[in-house]
Structure 1
Amino acid sequence: MIALVDCNNFYASCERLFQPALRGKPIVVLSNNDGCVIARNDEAKAIGIKMGAPAFLMQDQISRHGVFVFSSNYTLYGSLSNRVMAVLQANCEKTEQYSIDEAFLYLGDLKHIDLEKYAGELRSKVNDVGIPVTIGIATSKTLAKMANRFAKKTKKDIGVHILDSSDKVNEVLRFTEVADIWGVGKQYAAVLKAHGFNTAYELSLAPQEWIRKEMSVVGQRLWNELHGMSCIEMEEEPPAKKNICVARSFGQLLSEKEDVREALANYAAIAASKLRQQNSCVTVLQVFLQTNVFREQDRQYYRSATVQLPVASNSTKEILHYSGIGLDRIWQNGYNFKKVGILLLDLIPADQVQYGMFDKIDRPKDNRLSKAMDSINRHWGGKELVKFAVQGYDRKWRLRQERLSPCYTTKISDILTIKI
């Protein structure tokens, strides 16, 4: 059996955890630069706040209903996610973190265990962290996803649903529209509906021959999953990414090259750190730069530049250097820029790098420097305390976060104080 543990309204739950007075109040969390809604709790959903709604269009609704609005605090969310995952890993030997607020648990053949009791106790233990969760259990990942969604919609108080009989499986299959099946996107859903499949149950009744012909191997795997056959393997270690992109919109428009260079250098350093985390190296990088397409009064500009590295690398120093070359190629004066980003392409394992005969860079020294910087920054909560001069400290480009909550779990000055 496989369980999917999913945190309920995770970002909103994190904000409410340290402010108990917010219980029962509508809460929304905004995207980078406080742009639009990326998370909301049940109370916010009940008053009609939609995902993706621009914050500036919701001011009347926010005032009328007393909605509490927060800037996204990924430091806090990441810290609490780690606590939740630690509880799950302590109670299940084989776990796979699927996202910041979801994890699959491989329960094996636990016929001797009361799954209802196990799930209830696990839910209680995670709740001790302060984050409510819902648990769906089935014989495949796809069915576990459906069971979890079914529990959220119909069993909010219990928070657990187990598909341990064919009747329960069929009930959930009938409840789930094809567009809501895990892994089925909008285009795929439209194709299925055009063929008369509106629910997962109807799709499960399709002949295998038709599935293989019309939906190829991916469709066959999905069909098997709907029938309780586990075809999607557990991944205890996340697979290495094929490319890495770090891009941000600026907190204010930038027209000076050095301000944009500073922002790009910080994004490049983040990308290099991610590269080292998965023990990969980059052979090609791309830098892109753009204005704000919604500002019709401004001249518009979008360009990108691709740079080939002579030797694949994951050194922050080198990636900063070559990203700077990319920026030099596309920079134009006289524009108000809104966003810059870096994309690392053609990644290879670090142990497969081929060095040039006339390479003059002291790569072992660079590697030691990068690892030392990673170690120091990780020790101090992931903040970039140690960095290169080009990354600067002025930060005119910094994200706008006017409603940022304290970092209660990672910053000494933000730890809650109790009056006795």
Structure 2
Amino acid sequence: MAEARRFALVDCNNFYASCEKLFAPTLAGRPVVVLSNNDGCVVARSAEAKAIGIAMGVPWFKIAATAESQGVVALSSNYALYADMSNRVVEVLSAFTPDLEVYSIDESFLDLSGFRHLDLVTYACQIRKRVARWVGLPVCVGIGPTKTLAKLANHFAKKRPSFEGVCDLMSLDEPTLAHLFSETPVDEVWGVGRRIATRLSEMGIETVEALRRSDPVWIREQFSVVLSRTVRELNGASCLSLEAVTPPKQQIMASRSFGSLVFDVEDLREALAHHVSRAAEKLRFQGDEAGALTVMIRTNAFKPAEPQYQRTVTLPLATPTSDTLHLIAVAHRILDDIFRPGFAYHKAGIMLSELRPTTAQQANLFGLPPQDARRQAAMLAMDEINRKWGRGTVRASAAGHRAGWQMRRDRLSPAYTTSWSDLPTALAL
């Protein structure tokens, strides 16, 4: 019989807020929240902000006066900082196992199956200490024989102080596990969302333990093979393998609400050029070309009293491409067809679809030449310069410099780790 697998899930605590606190000592002990695009809603909270009852997803304008009177500090999302800190955490974790899956910006699965000679709780404590010392961020570690149980263990590691940041479900006996799972709502299980949890509750399955004791065949008939697999994972049967290499995306989207309402078509052209540039860079990074381009523009649906208009159009490309300039030209052609003056536009976006590897390009029926090699070399050179010197160092002129459509981030912290001008300064007293 094959030996049980051993997975660990390492999760950064209050990741966005912790990144902000790391470089701002004045925030120590203060409630901090991070806001969504255009400083809209609360998307991250420090432990202090949670303690005073600030809810996730609440619009900031509704609570700003009360929150600020309680000393809450609200900051704009600093995506460059969070991405860089995430990469640093992953670099530290990669020293603890050769098999690692970056699940999200603040979570990574580690396969520890080959470490049976070690006390995994002690090993997990070493992980926590090294990340804290080398990166400065707090993490919790959950360990289990399946990825689903490891994620559940991480929940216990964060929410139950008795575990002191590390929970190894494999070290607990069956009665203890049953008691622990019986106290845990079923919606804490990975993949069980609100809608599924409601249906399960109607069937009398309200806790993790009740779901674990369910018949996986019956669950598959009532729900899906995915939830049936979850039941098997809760019982220790590993059904989900580690994805050491992230699979290529089948679609690449780039869209964002504007910082202020846009009326001018030139602002829309610049916004679309910006979105296409970012999407095309991601497309080239994964070695693909796009066979179709979608453009979307719309007004603010949350203001029904205002005149409403939205259009989404997809245009197949005669020859698949990853050329930024060609894709921008196509996006602008679509915009010229769908733009209507007189409306207050709230959002624009693009999507690249029908992706295929660059090496799989077929000849065109009408004998059109494949993507020009020199243009492709120019695109790759642009990508390399931007990776080295920062995004937007070299860009298409169509992306322009108009600021009317840019996302509003009035509370943005410095780029502490990605800009020389924003490096923290230490003063000797």
Corresponding residue of 2:368: 359
- Closer, same or farther in 2 for the Cα pair 1:321/1:203, shift >3 Å? same
1:223 shift after superposition? 1.4
> Partner of 2:52 in structure 1?
47
Q: Which runs of 5+ in 2 are unaligned?
A: 1-5
* Number of aligned residues: 419
Q: How far off is 1:130 after superposition?
A: 0.8
Alignment equivalent of 1:293, drawn from 277, 284, 301: 301
Structure 1 SS opposite 2:127: helix
CA distance in 2, matches of 1:12, 1:73: 10
TM-score (norm 2): 0.94
Q: Distance in 2 between matches of 1:163 and 1:157?
A: 11
2: distance between equivalents of 1:185 and 1:280? 33
1:327-346 equivalence runs, <5 A: 327-346=335-354
1:220-231 equivalences in 2 (<5 Å): 220-231=228-239
Match of residue 409 from structure 1: 417
Q: Indicate the residue corresponding to 1:133 in structure 2.
A: 139
Whether the 8 Å contact between 1:73 and 1:405 is mirrored in structure 2 is: yes
1:69 maps to which residue? 74
Displacement of 1:169 after TM fit? 3.5
- The amino acid across from 1:352 in the alignment is A
Task: Give the conservation status (yes or no) of the 8 Å contact 1:262–1:395.
Answer: no
How far apart in 2 are the matches of 1:295 and 1:224? 46
DSSP 3-state at the match of 1:359? coil
- Amino acid in the other structure paired with 2:141: I
Aligned position for 2:3: none
The 3 A distance-change label for structure 1 pair 296 and 195 is: closer
Q: Extract unaligned runs of 5+ from structure 1.
A: none
Q: Secondary structure at the match of 1:110?
A: coil
How far apart, CA to CA, are the structure 2 residues paired with 1:200 and 1:39?
Answer: 26
Number of the residue aligned with 2:311: 303
Inter-partner Cα distance in structure 2 for 1:95 and 1:362: 36
1:5-404 → structure 2 map (5 Å cutoff): 5-128=10-133, 129-155=135-161, 158-164=164-170, 165-167=172-174, 168-356=176-364, 357-360=366-369, 362-381=371-390, 383-404=391-412
Q: For residue 58 of structure 1, give the secondary structure of its aligned residue in structure 2.
A: helix
| Residue range with higher mean Cα deviation, 97-106 or 245-254 | 245-254
Runs of 4+ residues deviating >6 angstroms:
none
TM-score by length of 1: 0.96
* Cα separation, 2, equivalents of 1:272 and 1:149: 37
Distance across 2 between alignment mates of 1:27 and 1:184: 29
Give the letter aligned to residue 145 of structure 1: K
1:253 Cα deviation (Å)? 1.0
What is the CA RMSD across the aligned residues, in angstroms? 1.5
Name the SS for the 1:372 alignment partner.
helix
**Aligned twin of 1:418:** 426
Q: Are 2:414 and 2:422, in contact at CA under 8 Å, matched by a contact in 1? A: yes
- Aligned identity (percent) is 43
Q: Cα offset for 1:60?
A: 2.1
Which AA in structure 2 matches 1:94?
A: D
Partner SS for 2:421? helix
Between 1:357-366 and 1:176-185, the stretch displaced more is 357-366
**1:109, distance to aligned residue in structure 2 (A):** 3.9
3-state DSSP of counterpart to 2:164: coil
Q: Does the residue aligned with 1:378 lie in a helix, a strand or coil? A: helix
Which moved further from structure 2: 7-16 or 350-359? 350-359
How far apart are the structure 1 equivalents of 2:120 and 2:11? Answer: 17
Indicate the larger mover: 317-326 or 212-221: 212-221
> Contact conserved, 1:305 with 1:329, CA < 8 A, in 2?
no
- Cα separation, 1, equivalents of 2:326 and 2:27: 47
8 A Cα contact 1:96 1:105, kept in partner: yes
| Counterpart-to-counterpart distance in 1, 2:115 and 2:179 | 23
